[in-house]
């Protein structure tokens, strides 16, 4: 370990201690401010005198909310956790600060280590730091999903206790109240909220409000079934309570969902890391290749190596994004993005930004507008049309400017390489000794004198360089052969240096890359749509379960069933909403239009059963096969989930391992083989001559 590296580590440690001291000082100073006093007053009589993590997280929450950059993350966390910690401000702040603190505890040391290790490669260092910022979102999403999964597991036990309490009280609201008294569980707060809805003066309106904040569809189903049972009463079906049978159906759905999430987490648990690892290996792999095979130095330290590095960084970034899109189940995201004031909205509100963006947005009523609008709806994107095109325009401009910057950087890398790299004939394997390395460095300094003299002169000849060398003190007493050889070497370097400037085809490439950047938000949305279509069978089977729960309740009609399906739909939300809006104008016609908008056969079969229930037979008879073939549909649902996980796993592994394959094949094996073959060819040619 070099002394310089030790100094970097020591400097990093000292800097970290200074940051900790400053943070402690700021916390101590702010403890006397009004918000802290108010919080302490609220906690008075309940807090202990000793150290409390609960209070620390409350203080950290206020601090994070005031720090630019961190404020974005803490507000994003808050919006998601508000759904889980319903009406519990203390828990929301605590959990938000806790998750962000853990994320920073991982990312900050990683950033310090990145700066220390990659300080000599600014491009790699900047890219890694950007990735670490993106990874904060991954850590946050993972921790929130963990809380959501914990809530889902608590619901299994909660519904089991509801069954026992319902047998005892025979009243829905009393059973829910009794089971919701356990303050230690998150699901108890949800139970209390549902109880408040049921006993309110306007339960139907309050229920609609709860649907907007419920953390998952299973609690929505439970709240809806509880309301219907309270309003219309329970009844016996095959000697058992219909309410308890419906709770059992919801429980089975939750069990399938838990198994699905566990399998997905198992399949994807390491793919995100695997997709990022190649970036961390770029620097060590390059150093090993140069130390072991010095003939590769021109490639790895030159422009070609930099181009391959940039391509690998882009592939890795895309793979990471696609892996996240593939795994994401949107379990607790809900509509949190809709309540934000995102940067896209701010850009579009700017007069110049609006004017530029409007040039690219297709006119309303055109085929292109309808196509993009349908794509956004079908993919369940939270983006508005204007925001999507702000993304596309900004990304296109950013990619164009970035491409020009990268081309300039590549030219500078090629020039610097000619000025800085030791000038010598290398062996096939192994590097230079210390003596040979010093000699090569002296030769480079000598060449640089003539490079500076003739730099920019594109018409210089070897004879002119040789004439300048003869008058130089570096070549006193040198033979004509040595001078001729040195002049040829310097001329070769000059040709490289003089040719390194921005050329027309690079501008053309920058425009091509800008077009790719402009299209990429659309392509990612299409990818998201494809992933959602894979979930189509799973959603239709959830519809079957909902209908099975509703079909035997008194006073249930097709319109109520459609409203329930709309509430829990995701992929088919748009056509179902259209059908609900047109239902009063004509039930049969609205269902027929819905059937024409759908291409999935199993859902078409459900719509046909609804049409039969509208005019011909009771709902119970129209969907009788759902009850009689319940076991078959359950087995089919499990098989469908297994196929879905398998398909996602195959796609995910292909995407996740792509950067690693490109790293070893494109950055190590191919250069070694190609450059080795070229070196051997040159060696054989020199031996023959």
Strand-pair category, 236-237 with 240-241? antiparallel
Reply yes or no on whether the pLDDT at 511 is more than 90.
Answer: yes
Report d(CA 158, CA 522) in Å as an integer. 43
262-296: buried (b, 16+ CB within 10 Å) or exposed (e) per residue?
A: ebbeebbeebbebbbebbbbbbebbeebbeebbbb
- 64-70: long-range contacts, CB 8 A cutoff, minimum separation 24: 64/96, 64/97, 64/100, 70/100
* pLDDT bracket for residue 328 (50, 70, 90): low
pTM tops 0.75: no
**Chain-centroid distance, C-alpha 367:** 31
Smallest CA-to-CA distance from 255 within 149, 397, 393, 103 is with 149
Any idea where the domains of the chain sit in the sequence? 339-533
pLDDT tens, position by position, 155-203: 899 999 998 998 888 888 899 988 888 767 778 888 888 899 889 888 8
Reply yes or no on whether the pLDDT at 400 is more than 90.
Answer: yes
Q: Are 472 and 485 in contact (CB under 8 A)?
A: no
Report d(CA 422, CA 182) in Å as an integer. 73
Residues near 49 by Cβ (< 8 Å), separated by ≥ 6?
A: none
Reply yes or no on whether the pLDDT at 610 is more than 60.
Answer: yes
pLDDT tens, position by position, 55-73: 888 888 888 888 887 887 7
pLDDT tens, position by position, 447-484: 777 787 778 777 788 788 788 887 777 777 777 787 78
Q: Are 144 and 136 in contact (CB under 8 A)?
A: no
Q: What is the pLDDT of residue 43?
A: 52
């Amino acid at each position: 370990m070099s002394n310089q590296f030790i100094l970097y580590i020591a400097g990093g440690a000292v800097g970290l201690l200074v940051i900790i001291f400053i943070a402690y000082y700021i916390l101590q100073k702010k403890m006397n401010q009004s918000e802290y006093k108010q919080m302490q007053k609220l906690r008075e009589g309940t807090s202990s005198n000793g150290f409390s993590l609960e209070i620390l997280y409350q203080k950290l929450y206020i601090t994070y909310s005031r720090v630019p950059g961190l404020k974005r993350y803490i507000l994003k966390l808050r919006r998601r956790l508000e759904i889980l910690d319903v009406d519990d401000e203390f828990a929301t702040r605590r959990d938000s600060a806790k998750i962000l603190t853990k994320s920073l505890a991982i990312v900050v040391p990683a950033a310090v280590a990145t700066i220390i290790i990659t300080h000599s490669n600014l491009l790699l260092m900047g890219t890694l730091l950007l990735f670490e910022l993106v990874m904060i979102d991954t850590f946050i999403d993972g921790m929130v999903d963990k809380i959501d999964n914990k809530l889902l597991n608590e619901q299994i036990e909660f519904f089991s206790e509801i069954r026992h309490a319902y047998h005892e009280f025979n009243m829905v609201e009393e059973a829910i109240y009794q089971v919701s008294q356990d303050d230690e569980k998150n699901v108890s707060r949800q139970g209390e909220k549902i109880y408040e809805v049921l006993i309110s003066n306007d339960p139907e309106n309050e229920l609609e409000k709860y649907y907007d904040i419920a953390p998952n569809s299973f609690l929505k189903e439970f709240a809806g079934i509880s309301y219907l049972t309270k309003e219309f009463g329970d009844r016996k079906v095959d000697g058992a309570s219909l309410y308890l049978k419906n709770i059992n159906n919801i429980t089975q759905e939750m069990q399938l969902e838990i198994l699905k999430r566990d399998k997905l987490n198992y399949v994807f648990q390491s793919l995100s890391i695997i997709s990022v690892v190649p970036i961390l290996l770029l620097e060590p792999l390059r150093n090993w290749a140069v130390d072991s095979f010095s003939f590769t130095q021109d490639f790895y330290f030159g422009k070609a190596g930099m181009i391959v590095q940039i391509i690998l960084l882009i592939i890795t970034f895309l793979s990471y994004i696609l892996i996240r899109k593939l795994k994401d189940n949107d379990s607790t995201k809900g509509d949190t993005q809709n309540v934000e004031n995102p940067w896209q909205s701010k850009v579009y509100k700017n007069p110049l930004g609006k004017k530029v963006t409007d040039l690219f947005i297709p006119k309303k009523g055109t085929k292109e507008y309808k196509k993009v609008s349908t794509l956004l709806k079908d993919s369940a994107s939270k983006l508005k049309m204007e925001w999507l095109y702000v993304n596309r325009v900004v990304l296109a401009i950013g990619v164009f400017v970035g491409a020009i910057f990268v081309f300039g950087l590549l030219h500078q890398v090629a020039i610097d390489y000619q000025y800085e790299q030791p000038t010598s004939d290398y062996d096939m394997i192994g590097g230079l000794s210390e003596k040979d390395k010093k000699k090569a460095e002296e030769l480079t300094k000598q060449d640089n004198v003539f490079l500076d003299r003739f730099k920019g002169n594109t018409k210089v000849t070897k004879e002119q360089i040789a004439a300048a060398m003869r008058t130089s003190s570096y070549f006193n007493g040198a033979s004509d052969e040595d001078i001729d050889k040195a002049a040829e070497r310097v001329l070769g370097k000059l040709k490289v240096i003089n040719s390194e400037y921005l050329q027309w085809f690079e501008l053309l490439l920058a425009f091509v890359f800008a077009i790719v950047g402009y299209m990429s938000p659309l392509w990612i949305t299409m990818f998201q749509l494809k992933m959602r279509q894979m979930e189509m069978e799973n959603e239709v089977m959830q519809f079957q379960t909902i209908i099975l729960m509703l079909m035997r309740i008194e006073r249930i009609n097709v319109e109520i069933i459609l409203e329930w399906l709309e509430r829990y739909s995701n992929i088919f939300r748009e056509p179902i909403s259209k059908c609900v809006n047109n239902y009063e104008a004509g039930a049969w016609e609205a269902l027929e239009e819905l059937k024409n908008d759908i291409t999935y056969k199993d859902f078409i079969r459900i719509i046909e059963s609804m049409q039969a229930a509208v005019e011909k037979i009771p709902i119970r008879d129209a969907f009788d096969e759902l009850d009689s073939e319940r076991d078959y549909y359950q087995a089919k649902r499990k098989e469908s989930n297994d196929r879905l996980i398998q398909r996602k796993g195959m796609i995910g592994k292909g995407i996740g391992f792509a950067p690693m394959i490109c790293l070893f094949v494109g950055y190590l094996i191919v250069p070694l083989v190609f450059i080795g073959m070229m070196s051997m060819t040159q060696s054989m040619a020199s031996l023959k001559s």
